[in-house]
Structures are given as C-alpha cells and as structure tokens.
Structure 1
Amino acid sequence: MSVAKTMNNLAVVYQNMANYPEAERLYKKALAIEEKVSTRDNSAIASSLNNLAAFYDQQGRYTEAEAMYKRALSIKERLLGPAHRDTASCVSNLGLLYLHKKEYDKAEAYYRRALSICETTLGQVHPSVASEMSHLAELYRIQKKYNQAEPLLRKAMNMYEKKLGINNLEAALCMYNLGSLERDQGNFKKAEPLFRRTLGVRERLLGPGHPETIAVMRDYASVLKALNRDTDAEAVEQKFAKFVKAKPIKEKTADAPKTETAKTP
C-alpha cells in the first residue's frame, strides 16, 4: 500500500475519532504526495481530492468542498468520460453538498444526473441505482414534496430488499425516511410499522447501543405517544434506557459523502 493510501486510511480513523485537525492534515498530506509523484491528473489524485472534499463537506466548509469536488469531477470526466459509473459518485457528492447548502435546484440536477448514469451503466435494478433514488427522494422530502419523494423511496427500498435481502442497513434507511415522511404529514399509523421495522433491523445489525439504533428508538417512541400508546412507548424507552447518552443524537437521513480508495493509475 502506498504512503498516500495509508495516510488517507489514517485520516478516516482520526475523523471517526473526531480528531479533525489531524484528519485534515493527513488528507492534505496524502493529496500533496499524489500531486508530487504524478506528472498528470489521475484517478489517485481525484480520489484524494474527493476524500478531502468529503471531509470539508461534513465540517460545513462548503466553499472548500465545492472547489475540490469540482476538480475531482473534472479529472474523472477527462479520464473516464462524463457517463462512467465511477464518475457518478463525484456527481452524487456534489448533489449532497448542494443539499447541505440548501441550493435545492442544483442538488436535484446533480442527483438526477448521478441516477441517470447509474441506470445507464448498471441497469434499472441495482443497489447503486437505489442509493441515488433515495438521495433524490430525501431531497424532495426535505422540501415537503411528499408526492415525489414517496414513490422513489418505496422503489429504492424494494430494490435494496430484492438485491441485498430484507435485513440490510440501506433498506432500513429507506424505511426510516419513509417513516419520517409519514410522520411529517401526521400519518402516525403509517409511520409506526416503518419505524418499528427499522428499529428491528438496526438492533440486529448494529446492536441496541448504536447511535443510529437509539435515534430511531426515540422516533418510534414519539410516534407511539402520538398514537396515545404511552405504555408501549415507555416500554421501548426502558428497553434502551441504559444505552441512551445525555447528548442528543441526530439521525442520519441521507448517506454521507462517498469517500474513495485511491487507485494506481
């Protein structure tokens, strides 16, 4: 493994440990090494740019992230073409960036482009197609465009279940977003089974103490209370009480930016 790849991997570890200054230093160092050893733009540079951009995106440093995402995309388009499946991840990351910036028209354009690339290169039924559908659906849900969001979420969830099985985290995220969509519209009876199923999958796959399990538990309990099922809500809360942290947990409703492993040109 190259020094730059090792640094990228270490940067991810530090980022997960919330040691952001060290993560940034390593991401930058990895990019500098790739740029120094390469006489031309290549996939390794694009990957390092993408990873640093994803870090900046998650830190809310959107101007820096946008510039690096666009440079990474330009390299991928030049090397692979604008409609290559590996180009789609850069396109999708730009969509997520614009969603974070609340520039929804731009986000939709990039998400639609990423979805089109995946459908063309991978076929109509593929986990990557489902991922891009769920991104677009979440964008619509945030804008309260529920009629556009719901069919995309259901199609994505069915696609995940067909390709990956019933018990997988990707389908569970679609279920969670569907539950959120129904709850947002006051449809608590429809939201309840979706949150319950999501909770079951996450408890099995992530464990009862995982932050994402606790997050959906809280949403499930709140829906039970809205349905006047206070006893059931209390039972759910008591089951997970020992795992609940004092610090509020924010549920992930969309994928994080996609990081990449640098490839040898």
Structure 2
Amino acid sequence: MLPPNHPNLATYYISIGLVYYNMGQYRKALEFYEKDVEIMKTAPSLDHTDLATSYNNIALVYDIVGDYSKALKLNEESIYIRGKALPKNHPDLATSYNNIGVVYNNMGEYWKALDFYTKALEIHEKAPARNHCDIGLCYDNIGLVYNYLGEYKKAEEFHGKSFETMQMAVSCDHPSFSSVHHNTGLTHYNMGEYAKALELYEKARSLREKVLPMSHPSLMASYNYIGQVYKNMGEYSKALEIFNKGLEGMKKMPNKNVWSFSNIYLFYSQRLAPIFGTDLLEEHPISAMIYSNIGDVYRLMGDYKKALSFHQKALKVQQNVQCNPLQRATIYVNLGETHRELKDYKKALEYYEKGLELRQMKLPENHPDLGVLFHNMSKLYLAFGEHSKAIEAIQQALKIAQERLPSNHPHFLDCQKTLLLLQTDV
C-alpha cells in the first residue's frame, strides 16, 4: 500500500484526470490534476518540467470551462518553468506557447494569440523530427485567428496548409481533423458560402460524435455553428432543432454539480471541495451563445417576446462567467435588433452602442462584424427619421463590405439594397 503522496501515484492521477477531462467531467479532472501537483511539489527529486506539464493540464480545464484568467496564469507559470529548464526550441515550449495562444484567442485578444501561435509554429517547423500533426494544428489555429480578424482569404490559406500537412500524418477521417473541418467551415460561413460551411461543419460534428460524449463543449460548438448556418439560410425550424440539441447536450453533462466560477478562491481554499447547486448549462460560455442564437431565430420568425427572453438568458449566463467580450457584443447587437423590430428605438440604440464599443475595442476598423453593425444602425437611424446619419452608417458598412467580402456575399448585397433605398428616399 503506497502512501497518498508517493511519487508513483502522480502518473495514475494524471491518467485518471485525463479520462475525466475527455469525458467532459471537468471538476473531477481538476481534482486529480491537483492531486498530481501536490505530489510534484513534495517530491524530493522534483522534475520542474513535470510540474510545468501539470500546470498545463489544469490550465486546459480552466480554459475549456471559460475561466480564462486562471488558465492564463497557469500557462504563464508553465512557460516560465519550461523557459528556464529547456532549450528555446524544445517541443514542450511550443505546446505551452500554443496553449497560451488558445486562451488569448478565447479572450478575444487575437493579436496576442497570433503571436504565441506563431512562436509555436516556428519551433515545430525547426524540429529535427517534424511532427506533421503539431504543425498542421498550428496552421489551423493561425487560420482561426485570421477568421476572427475578418481576414478570410488568409484564414483559408492557413486552413488549406493545415489540411495538407495533417494528411501526411493521419487520414482525413481521423478525429484530429475535426477542428480543421470546423474552422475551414467557419471561413466559408464568414464568406457567405453557407452550403460549403454546412458540409464542413457536419464533417466535424460527425468526427466529434465518434470520440466525444454528447455533453462535450466541442460538440455543443458544432451544434451552435450548424444552427447558425440554417438560420442564415432561412431554415428557422431546422435551426431551432439544432440549437436545442446543443442545449440538451449541456443538460446531459455527467456531472452537473460543477463549481461556481465566482467562487474559484473558495474552491481552492477548501482543497477542491465541491460547491453544489450550479448547473453547467448556466455556467458555460457556449450556452450563452446558443441562447442568443435561439433568440435571434425567434426574432426572424417574428416572435419578439421569446427572442427577448432568450437574449436575456444569454446575458444572465455571461454575467456569471468570464467570456470573450466579442461574444457579449454579439448578444448586445442581437438585443438591439430585437428592440428595433419592436420599435423601441431608444433601447435598440443603447444596445447597438454597447456592441459597437466592444467591437471597436477588439477588432480592426474594417472588420466585417463592424460593417454588419453599421448596417443595423443605418436601418435604425432611418426609422428615427435621421436620414443623414443613416446614409453615413450605410456608407461605412458598404465600404467595409467592399474591402473584406466577396461581391456576392449576402451582407454585401443587403448593404447595396439599403443604400439604394436611402438614395431613392431622397
């Protein structure tokens, strides 16, 4: 019988934690990862790089549940330890750089994410034994950042590199390809190519369903994005069906009694004592976006009361978790659209301005999402009777669309129609 802090137990704790992590039971995963750290810190022959790996494991849990500040801190500790102990081109450092890039990406800090992803890629490309999967995933991550920055051609280029590189190591139906399919689908979605986006999103979902529990956040993300495609294609009933699948998956979380993110300190001070009574559905950032997307479908269907209800649910979730400010901006914009439809123009403008402030703070000035918002504001100003402001806003929207979107993109065409309407009205 080994004592509870025997070094040999650390490996078992890591393995058990990984199983729980892959099952989506993050509180249990964290519990075993923390046991591993406790052993590492008391071991007489401590290998500090192993401790860095342990910090990295815990950071992954915090990132996936949306506690980005904690994930960032642990990843920085991991980089500090590895930076002192390892050569600058060591693959483990690349892993740390990649992981911190993921956190920054989730926080909406895209230029910082790009910097760390590029550092990781440089190490992997210079490695004597090239790992094509690692290189491919770096390309994929860089492509995703360009997606979020609205640079869709660059995104397409890097996702293409990712696909070609990973094919050298694994078959196209390997689970590792799920993120490549999904992120390439996002590029096509952003370019208005909805049929192609749907095809790729479905490929990603199919691969994820083979290896992940139905409650895993990656699957929830698949449902969320597939639902958005159906929404934009005007298939509202299908969109609602898909969004509700995502919510049902969250409800089926094997361990719904997770910690409250507002009580992280208490969680640590009581040595991982569980804090009961909080449902994951109300605690995960992805659920906020699903709620808001459902609300937007109801808006498009003309059911504004239901739309407002779901948007308010989304805001409530985001008040309880750390989230990407751009996701909050989207919820504000969706609320603005709903209030505009209800002819509550003052409230609509209030939400548009909140969304605009966040997007201008985080995005390039010619980002397509800013163009969409300027278009919305143009329609609002027209309803207000402020014709000159409406013209100014639609011209801003059209300028961005001309710079960033294909000429047949639905948003580009809508902007042209709105401008024509305003010019005719004069």
Q: Does the TM-score normalized on the shorter chain lie above 0.5?
A: yes
User: Partners in 1 of 2:223 and 2:62 — Cα distance?
Assistant: 31
**Which residue of structure 2 aligns with residue 38 of structure 1?**
86
The structure 2 residue matched to 1:131, chosen from 162, 172, 179, is: 179
Q: CA deviation at 1:192?
A: 2.2
Give deviations 1:241-260, integer Å, cap 9, x for gaps.
6x944749738x9xxxxxxx
Question: Aligned with 1:41: secondary structure?
Answer: coil
Q: Aligned pair in 2 of structure 1 residues 182, 71: CA closer, same or farther (>3 Å)? A: same
Higher deviation after alignment, 192-201 or 159-168:
159-168
Q: Aligned pair in 2 of structure 1 residues 142, 38: CA closer, same or farther (>3 Å)? A: same
**Which residue of structure 2 aligns with residue 223 of structure 1?**
297
Q: Aligned pair in 2 of structure 1 residues 17, 224: CA closer, same or farther (>3 Å)? A: closer
Q: Aligned pair in 2 of structure 1 residues 214, 5: CA closer, same or farther (>3 Å)? A: same
**Which residue of structure 1 aligns with residue 124 of structure 2?**
76
What one-letter code is carried by the residue in structure 2 that aligns with 1:136?
T
The structure 2 residue matched to 1:209, chosen from 282, 301, 316, is: 282
Q: Aligned pair in 2 of structure 1 residues 13, 175: CA closer, same or farther (>3 Å)? A: closer
Question: Aligned with 1:127: secondary structure?
Answer: coil
User: Partners in 1 of 2:215 and 2:61 — Cα distance?
Assistant: 27
User: Partners in 2 of 1:193 and 1:122 — Cα distance?
Assistant: 33
The structure 1 residue matched to 2:143, chosen from 85, 92, 95, is: 95
User: Partners in 2 of 1:64 and 1:245 — Cα distance?
Assistant: 26
What one-letter code is carried by the residue in structure 1 that aligns with 2:187?
L
8 Å CA contact 1:80–1:87 kept in 2: the answer is: no
What one-letter code is carried by the residue in structure 2 that aligns with 1:180?
Q
Output the TM-score relative to the length of structure 1. 0.73
**Which residue of structure 2 aligns with residue 177 of structure 1?**
225
**Which residue of structure 2 aligns with residue 261 of structure 1?**
none
The structure 2 residue matched to 1:106, chosen from 154, 158, 163, is: 154
User: Partners in 2 of 1:127 and 1:157 — Cα distance?
Assistant: 10
Q: Aligned pair in 2 of structure 1 residues 172, 5: CA closer, same or farther (>3 Å)? A: closer
Question: Aligned with 1:208: secondary structure?
Answer: helix
What one-letter code is carried by the residue in structure 2 that aligns with 1:219?
N
What one-letter code is carried by the residue in structure 1 that aligns with 2:293?
D
Higher deviation after alignment, 1-10 or 127-136:
1-10
Q: Aligned pair in 2 of structure 1 residues 199, 80: CA closer, same or farther (>3 Å)? A: farther
8 Å CA contact 2:147–2:186 kept in 1: the answer is: no
8 Å CA contact 1:62–1:101 kept in 2: the answer is: yes
Q: CA deviation at 1:149?
A: 0.8
**Which residue of structure 2 aligns with residue 115 of structure 1?**
163
User: Partners in 2 of 1:93 and 1:140 — Cα distance?
Assistant: 16
Give deviations 1:105-149, integer Å, cap 9, x for gaps.
221122122233334422121222122101110121122221321
The structure 2 residue matched to 1:194, chosen from 209, 221, 242, is: 242
8 Å CA contact 1:179–1:195 kept in 2: the answer is: yes
Unaligned runs of 5+ in 1: 254-265
User: Partners in 1 of 2:61 and 2:126 — Cα distance?
Assistant: 31
8 Å CA contact 2:132–2:168 kept in 1: the answer is: no
- Who wins on radius of gyration, i.e. which is larger? 2
Q: In angstroms, what is the RMSD of aligned CA positions?
A: 3.7
Q: Aligned pair in 2 of structure 1 residues 39, 134: CA closer, same or farther (>3 Å)? A: closer
Give deviations 1:47-95, integer Å, cap 9, x for gaps.
2222333344444544444333222112112226556212222222211
8 Å CA contact 2:62–2:68 kept in 1: the answer is: yes
What one-letter code is carried by the residue in structure 2 that aligns with 1:179?
G
* Residue-pair matches, total: 246
8 Å CA contact 1:83–1:117 kept in 2: the answer is: no
Aligned-pair identity (%)? 22
